[in-house]
A and B are shown apart, each in its own frame.
Chain A
Protein backbone atom coordinates (compact mmCIF):
# COMPACT_ATOMS: atom_id res chain seq x y z
CA UNK A 1 0.00 0.00 0.00
CA UNK A 2 1.52 3.32 -1.11
CA UNK A 3 -0.63 5.56 1.14
CA UNK A 4 0.57 9.18 0.93
CA UNK A 5 3.59 9.81 -1.29
CA UNK A 6 5.59 13.04 -1.22
CA UNK A 7 8.31 14.12 -3.61
CA UNK A 8 11.02 15.26 -3.41
CA UNK A 9 12.33 14.11 -0.03
CA UNK A 10 15.07 16.74 0.01
CA UNK A 11 15.58 19.98 -1.87
CA UNK A 12 17.86 22.99 -1.62
CA UNK A 13 16.60 26.22 -3.15
CA UNK A 14 18.13 29.62 -3.66
CA UNK A 15 16.24 32.70 -2.47
CA UNK A 16 13.67 33.74 -5.05
CA UNK A 17 13.44 30.36 -6.79
CA UNK A 18 10.15 28.55 -7.20
CA UNK A 19 9.26 24.92 -6.79
CA UNK A 20 6.38 22.51 -6.27
CA UNK A 21 6.16 19.84 -3.62
CA UNK A 22 4.15 16.95 -4.96
CA UNK A 23 1.70 14.91 -2.88
CA UNK A 24 -0.47 12.03 -4.00
CA UNK A 25 -2.65 9.58 -2.09
CA UNK A 26 -4.23 6.34 -3.27
CA UNK A 27 -6.82 5.89 -0.51
CA UNK A 28 -9.60 7.97 -2.12
CA UNK A 29 -9.62 10.31 0.88
CA UNK A 30 -11.67 13.48 0.79
CA UNK A 31 -9.40 15.59 2.97
CA UNK A 32 -5.83 16.56 2.21
CA UNK A 33 -3.47 18.82 4.15
CA UNK A 34 -0.09 20.47 4.02
CA UNK A 35 1.77 21.08 7.27
CA UNK A 36 5.20 22.42 8.01
CA UNK A 37 7.27 21.51 11.03
CA UNK A 38 9.85 23.92 12.35
CA UNK A 39 12.11 22.88 15.27
CA UNK A 40 10.24 23.14 18.56
CA UNK A 41 7.16 24.58 16.86
CA UNK A 42 5.07 21.52 16.21
CA UNK A 43 3.03 21.18 13.03
CA UNK A 44 1.55 24.30 11.45
CA UNK A 45 -1.24 23.97 8.90
CA UNK A 46 -0.47 25.71 5.59
CA UNK A 47 -3.43 24.78 3.35
CA UNK A 48 -6.05 22.11 3.28
CA UNK A 49 -8.68 20.72 0.92
CA UNK A 50 -11.99 18.98 1.60
CA UNK A 51 -12.32 17.65 -1.93
CA UNK A 52 -11.36 18.16 -5.56
CA UNK A 53 -11.68 21.81 -6.55
CA UNK A 54 -11.95 23.07 -2.96
CA UNK A 55 -9.03 24.51 -1.00
CA UNK A 56 -8.71 26.79 2.01
CA UNK A 57 -6.04 28.55 4.03
CA UNK A 58 -4.63 27.19 7.23
CA UNK A 59 -2.59 28.94 9.93
CA UNK A 60 0.44 29.93 7.83
CA UNK A 61 -0.55 30.23 4.12
CA UNK A 62 1.58 33.23 3.11
CA UNK A 63 4.13 32.42 0.42
CA UNK A 64 2.37 29.24 -0.70
CA UNK A 65 -0.29 28.17 -3.17
CA UNK A 66 -2.16 24.93 -3.68
CA UNK A 67 -4.54 23.32 -6.13
CA UNK A 68 -6.72 20.21 -5.99
CA UNK A 69 -7.74 19.20 -9.48
CA UNK A 70 -8.14 15.51 -8.59
CA UNK A 71 -8.94 13.55 -5.46
CA UNK A 72 -5.48 12.00 -5.50
CA UNK A 73 -3.16 15.00 -5.91
CA UNK A 74 -2.53 18.06 -3.77
CA UNK A 75 0.63 19.91 -4.85
CA UNK A 76 2.10 22.78 -2.80
CA UNK A 77 3.69 25.64 -4.74
CA UNK A 78 6.37 28.00 -3.41
CA UNK A 79 6.60 30.97 -5.77
CA UNK A 80 9.47 33.06 -4.33
CA UNK A 81 11.43 30.99 -1.86
CA UNK A 82 12.60 32.74 1.30
CA UNK A 83 14.87 31.50 4.13
CA UNK A 84 11.83 31.54 6.45
CA UNK A 85 10.41 28.69 4.37
CA UNK A 86 13.22 26.37 5.38
CA UNK A 87 11.32 23.58 7.08
CA UNK A 88 10.10 20.01 6.85
CA UNK A 89 6.83 19.77 4.95
CA UNK A 90 4.27 17.05 5.52
CA UNK A 91 1.34 16.16 3.35
CA UNK A 92 -1.54 14.22 4.88
CA UNK A 93 -4.90 12.83 3.87
CA UNK A 94 -7.90 11.59 5.80
CA UNK A 95 -11.35 10.16 5.22
CA UNK A 96 -14.45 11.64 6.80
CA UNK A 97 -14.79 10.69 10.46
CA UNK A 98 -17.75 8.56 11.48
CA UNK A 99 -18.30 11.08 14.26
CA UNK A 100 -18.42 14.05 14.74
CA UNK A 101 -20.08 14.80 11.38
CA UNK A 102 -18.26 16.75 8.69
CA UNK A 103 -14.91 16.37 10.39
CA UNK A 104 -11.74 14.61 9.26
CA UNK A 105 -10.88 11.23 10.63
CA UNK A 106 -7.43 9.81 11.20
CA UNK A 107 -4.73 11.63 9.23
CA UNK A 108 -2.30 9.57 7.19
CA UNK A 109 0.98 11.40 6.68
CA UNK A 110 3.65 11.18 4.05
CA UNK A 111 7.29 10.81 5.05
CA UNK A 112 8.02 14.51 4.68
CA UNK A 113 10.01 16.80 2.38
CA UNK A 114 12.98 18.65 3.85
CA UNK A 115 13.40 22.03 2.15
CA UNK A 116 16.34 24.37 2.69
CA UNK A 117 16.36 27.89 1.24
CA UNK A 118 19.77 29.55 1.07
Chain B
Protein backbone atom coordinates (compact mmCIF):
# COMPACT_ATOMS: atom_id res chain seq x y z
CA UNK B 1 0.00 0.00 0.00
CA UNK B 2 2.02 2.91 -1.32
CA UNK B 3 1.10 6.09 0.50
CA UNK B 4 3.26 8.35 -1.67
CA UNK B 5 3.30 7.77 -5.41
CA UNK B 6 5.42 9.09 -8.23
CA UNK B 7 3.88 7.76 -11.40
CA UNK B 8 6.50 9.03 -13.84
CA UNK B 9 9.72 7.02 -13.60
CA UNK B 10 11.58 9.42 -15.89
CA UNK B 11 11.42 12.88 -17.43
CA UNK B 12 13.58 14.54 -20.07
CA UNK B 13 13.67 18.32 -20.61
CA UNK B 14 15.83 20.81 -22.48
CA UNK B 15 18.21 23.08 -20.61
CA UNK B 16 16.53 26.38 -19.76
CA UNK B 17 13.00 24.93 -19.85
CA UNK B 18 10.76 24.12 -16.91
CA UNK B 19 10.87 20.69 -15.26
CA UNK B 20 7.72 19.55 -13.46
CA UNK B 21 7.89 16.51 -11.23
CA UNK B 22 4.69 15.14 -9.74
CA UNK B 23 3.75 13.27 -6.59
CA UNK B 24 0.39 11.95 -5.36
CA UNK B 25 -0.47 10.85 -1.85
CA UNK B 26 -3.27 8.83 -0.36
CA UNK B 27 -3.76 10.20 3.14
CA UNK B 28 -5.26 13.62 3.65
CA UNK B 29 -3.83 13.71 7.19
CA UNK B 30 -0.26 14.19 5.98
CA UNK B 31 1.15 17.34 7.59
CA UNK B 32 4.07 18.10 5.37
CA UNK B 33 6.01 16.92 2.38
CA UNK B 34 9.63 16.94 1.37
CA UNK B 35 11.58 16.60 -1.87
CA UNK B 36 14.98 14.96 -2.03
CA UNK B 37 17.47 14.80 -4.87
CA UNK B 38 19.83 11.89 -5.45
CA UNK B 39 22.87 11.64 -7.70
CA UNK B 40 24.29 8.21 -8.62
CA UNK B 41 26.50 6.63 -5.93
CA UNK B 42 25.53 9.31 -3.40
CA UNK B 43 22.98 9.55 -0.62
CA UNK B 44 19.84 11.64 -1.17
CA UNK B 45 20.01 15.30 -0.17
CA UNK B 46 17.18 17.51 1.02
CA UNK B 47 15.85 19.95 -1.54
CA UNK B 48 12.69 21.68 -0.35
CA UNK B 49 9.66 21.06 1.84
CA UNK B 50 6.11 22.32 2.22
CA UNK B 51 3.67 22.15 5.12
CA UNK B 52 -0.03 21.48 4.67
CA UNK B 53 -0.89 25.01 5.78
CA UNK B 54 0.69 26.38 2.60
CA UNK B 55 0.02 25.79 -1.07
CA UNK B 56 3.38 27.02 -2.35
CA UNK B 57 6.97 27.21 -1.19
CA UNK B 58 9.78 28.69 -3.22
CA UNK B 59 13.56 28.44 -2.91
CA UNK B 60 15.51 29.92 -5.78
CA UNK B 61 14.84 27.93 -8.94
CA UNK B 62 12.77 25.36 -7.04
CA UNK B 63 9.09 25.75 -6.20
CA UNK B 64 6.80 23.16 -4.68
CA UNK B 65 3.04 23.41 -5.10
CA UNK B 66 0.54 21.58 -2.93
CA UNK B 67 -3.04 20.84 -4.00
CA UNK B 68 -4.70 19.34 -0.94
CA UNK B 69 -8.06 18.70 -2.57
CA UNK B 70 -6.37 16.63 -5.29
CA UNK B 71 -3.82 15.12 -2.86
CA UNK B 72 -1.13 16.16 -5.28
CA UNK B 73 2.14 18.04 -5.09
CA UNK B 74 4.55 19.08 -7.76
CA UNK B 75 8.11 20.33 -7.92
CA UNK B 76 8.92 22.97 -10.52
CA UNK B 77 12.49 23.70 -11.56
CA UNK B 78 12.95 26.87 -13.59
CA UNK B 79 15.19 27.18 -15.49
CA UNK B 80 16.41 23.59 -15.65
CA UNK B 81 20.16 23.04 -15.76
CA UNK B 82 22.20 19.95 -16.71
CA UNK B 83 23.37 19.72 -13.07
CA UNK B 84 19.76 19.13 -12.07
CA UNK B 85 19.90 15.70 -13.72
CA UNK B 86 19.23 13.31 -10.84
CA UNK B 87 16.54 11.16 -9.25
CA UNK B 88 13.94 13.16 -7.31
CA UNK B 89 11.98 11.64 -4.44
CA UNK B 90 8.97 13.05 -2.68
CA UNK B 91 8.44 11.99 0.93
CA UNK B 92 5.93 12.40 3.73
CA UNK B 93 5.55 11.24 7.33
CA UNK B 94 3.66 7.95 7.41
CA UNK B 95 0.00 8.14 8.30
CA UNK B 96 -0.42 7.23 11.96
CA UNK B 97 3.33 7.24 12.66
CA UNK B 98 4.76 10.66 11.97
CA UNK B 99 8.27 9.61 12.99
CA UNK B 100 8.52 7.48 9.85
CA UNK B 101 9.31 9.19 6.58
CA UNK B 102 7.91 7.34 3.58
CA UNK B 103 9.42 7.91 0.15
CA UNK B 104 7.97 7.65 -3.33
CA UNK B 105 9.65 5.54 -6.01
CA UNK B 106 11.44 8.51 -7.55
CA UNK B 107 11.57 10.24 -10.94
CA UNK B 108 14.76 10.32 -12.98
CA UNK B 109 15.19 13.79 -14.48
CA UNK B 110 17.50 14.23 -17.45
CA UNK B 111 18.23 17.80 -18.51
CA UNK B 112 19.60 17.90 -22.03
CA UNK B 113 22.15 20.63 -22.88
Contact = CB atoms under 8 A, between A and B. Distances in A.
Contacts of A112: 41-43
Contact of B105 (A42, A58, A97, A108): A42
Interface in B3-55: 6, 9, 31-32, 34, 36, 41-46, 49, 51
Interface residues of B, number: 26
Given A40-B105, A41-B105, A107 B99 contact: no
A90 B32 contact: no
B78 interface: no
Interface string A10-25: 0000000000000000
Nearest to B30: A100
10 contacts: A35-B103, A48-B99, A48-B100, A97-B32, A99-B32, A100-B32, A100-B98, A103-B32, A106-B46, A109-B43
B43 A45 contact: no
A90 B9 contact: no
Interface centre among B43, B51, B97, B102 (most CB of A within 10 A): B43
A45 B89 contact: no
A104 B44 contact: no
Contact of B101 (A4, A33, A99, A110): A33
Contact of B43 (A48, A56, A90, A97): A90
Contacts of B105: 40-42
B45 A40 contact: no
A54 B43 CA distance: 24
A43 B89 contact: yes
Nearest to A94: B101
Contact of B102 (A31, A59, A102, A111): A59
B89 A103 contact: no
A102 to B, nearest CB: 6
Contacts of A109: 43-45
Given A56-B97, A110-B43, 6 more contacts: A4-B43, A42-B6, A42-B103, A45-B100, A56-B100, A109-B44
